[in-house]
Amino acid sequence: MQTPIVPHSQPTDPGRSKPFFEIAIERISSVYKPASARKEGIHYWPEPLPTPSHQLPDPLVLFYPEDLDTNQSGLDQRERQAVIPMTRREVLERRSRENIKPSMQIPLGLIDKPAEQLRETFLVDLHGAGGTATGGPLLIAGAQHSGKATALQTILFWLTTRFLPEQLRYAILDPFAELTHFRTLPHLSKANGDMYWSAEASEEQLQHFTNRIYAEIQQRHDLFASQQQHPQTLSQVWSQGLSIPQLLVIISNYQLFAERTTTALLIKKLAQTVMEARALGVYLIITSTETGPRQLPQELISKCPTRIGLGLSNRQNHELFGATILPAETVPGRGWIQTPERHIQQVQLALPLSGSTESIRDTQLKLALVQNSLP
Ligand SMILES: Nc1ncnc2c1ncn2[C@@H]1O[C@H](COP(=O)(O)OP(=O)(O)OP(=O)(O)O)[C@@H](O)[C@H]1O
């Protein structure tokens, strides 16, 4: 066989020196195309995970772009990837269909599976569509500026695009005001005008918030119990035309509540109570900058089958995954996940929307949320 000529390396991004493996993969890919490799029975190594860089800060977004030709340079469009092969408009159209089913499967990024030579969509399943052991609460632990708040935004953006307020409600503790764009969503207020939102970390606010959640869980208990002859799932309830929305509880920056003696017990009880209400359509996501036992109790970690660690140290990775893992590349949204099957793999999380700077992405997100709320 003729020896392939290896071309000179591509110009590298001035903001980041590429790791050796990425350069090697790029060079091999450029001379030995997947089609010819397949003919010789060689399964091609999957593309490396998209990596945010100075040149392309938004390489992975949630939805396929609507307007391929406008407002972006051709280079960016070719290199940017979407987690799901649908535009936001297409998902919105499905939302208005009447027979939509409850689902807490959320596309959040791409996973690298080198042992299987695969790169796959990372789907978080808060409910466990294939049985309770296949899903459950999500825990995102990450260093500062590693992408925790952005991951929550991507999740909320997906769910808001997918479900109407009568199908899904949020209850959000956001002590660092990182999710304020979502605050005006109808998904946050109840019919009586009550809001499931708190931007404070005080004991009083937290008590008020937890009381509302407990009341909601109790109501659901009573309703499900009253139907005992026919044990109900939320899916069955919906198919009978009853409107009990799914309820997603988000505790952002758990460590802040856990570090204070006045709120530590309250927040832990809230997390545990919500974890036990999954069969009633109540789901939980926690984020934390810390993984030590004082800020994030091990008994909570162990009840979260899906864990994401972004930019964590060796010690923190060990606390989160119970295993020794090398630190992942330090780019935002890059880290390790543990799936309900207990596999630990590298992941790149998606941005909710594209945009070359954080402030452009913020503006786009605000606009898109307004559009999502239009009838
Ligand atoms: N998946 C991603 N792809 C590209 N850029 C990202 C991604 N996630 C986050 N970023 C960018 O990285 C920066 C930090 O993100 P973010 O604020 O979400 O981090 P954080 O972990 O919540 O930080 P902090 O703990 O300081 O609040 C932001 O500029 C954000 O736009």
Query: 113 labelled as ligand-binding?
Result: no
Tell which one of 145, 250, 364 to mutate to probe ligand 1, the residue whose CB is within 8 A of the most ligand atoms: 145
Strand partners, 247: 169, 282
Residue 210 lies in a domain: yes
Q: Whose CA is nearest to atom 23 of ligand 1?
A: 145
Residue 99 lies in a domain: yes
Task: Provide, rounded to the nearest whole percent, the portion of the chain with pLDDT above 90.
Answer: 60
Residue 259 lies in a domain: yes
Asked whether 112 and 346 are in contact (CB, 8 A), the reply is yes
Inform me whether the pLDDT recorded for 242 exceeds 90: no
Inform me whether the pLDDT recorded for 76 exceeds 90: no
**Residues enclosing ligand 1, CB less than 6 A?**
52, 57-58, 142, 144-150, 178, 289, 332-333, 349-351, 358
Residue 235 lies in a domain: yes
**In angstroms, rounded to a whole number, what is the distance separating the alpha carbons of residues 78 and 50?**
12
In this prediction, residues 222-235 reach a mean pLDDT of 74
The per-residue pLDDT for 205 is 93
State the distance from the centre of ligand 1 to the C-alpha of 310, rounded, in angstroms: 10
Phi, psi at residue 18, to the nearest 5°?
-75, 145
Query: What pTM was estimated for this model as a whole?
Result: 0.87
Domain count within the chain: 1
The per-residue pLDDT for 255 is 97
* Atom from ligand 1 closest to the CA of residue 60: 3
Q: What is the pLDDT of residues 49-71, one digit of tens each?
A: 999 999 999 999 999 988 754 44
**In angstroms, rounded to a whole number, what is the distance separating the alpha carbons of residues 46 and 174?**
38
The per-residue pLDDT for 7 is 38
Residue 39 lies in a domain: no
Query: 221 labelled as ligand-binding?
Result: no
The per-residue pLDDT for 20 is 77
State the distance from the centre of ligand 1 to the C-alpha of 226, rounded, in angstroms: 45
Residue 193 lies in a domain: yes
Mean pLDDT of the chain: 86
Inform me whether the pLDDT recorded for 305 exceeds 90: yes
Query: 149 labelled as ligand-binding?
Result: yes
Q: Whose CA is nearest to atom 25 of ligand 1?
A: 144
Q: What is the pLDDT of residues 352-374, one digit of tens each?
A: 999 999 999 999 999 999 988 87
Segments forming the whole domain that contains residue 155: 88-373
Both tokens assigned to 219? 């109501």
Q: Whose CA is nearest to atom 16 of ligand 1?
A: 147
Residue 251 lies in a domain: yes
Residue 324 lies in a domain: yes
The per-residue pLDDT for 163 is 93
Maximum distance among all alpha carbons in the chain? 75
The per-residue pLDDT for 168 is 94
Q: How confident is the model at residue 328 (pLDDT cuts 50, 70, 90)?
A: confident
What CATH number does the domain containing 294 carry?
A: 3.40.50.300
Task: Provide, rounded to the nearest whole percent, the portion of the chain with pLDDT above 70.
Answer: 87
127-144 burial, b for 16+ CB within 10 Å, e for fewer? bbeeeeeebbbbbbbbbe
DSSP string of 190-225, one letter each residue: -TTS-B-EE----HHHHHHHHHHHHHHHHHHHHHHH
Q: How far is CA 32 from CA 56, 80, 191, 269, in A?
A: 25, 23, 60, 56
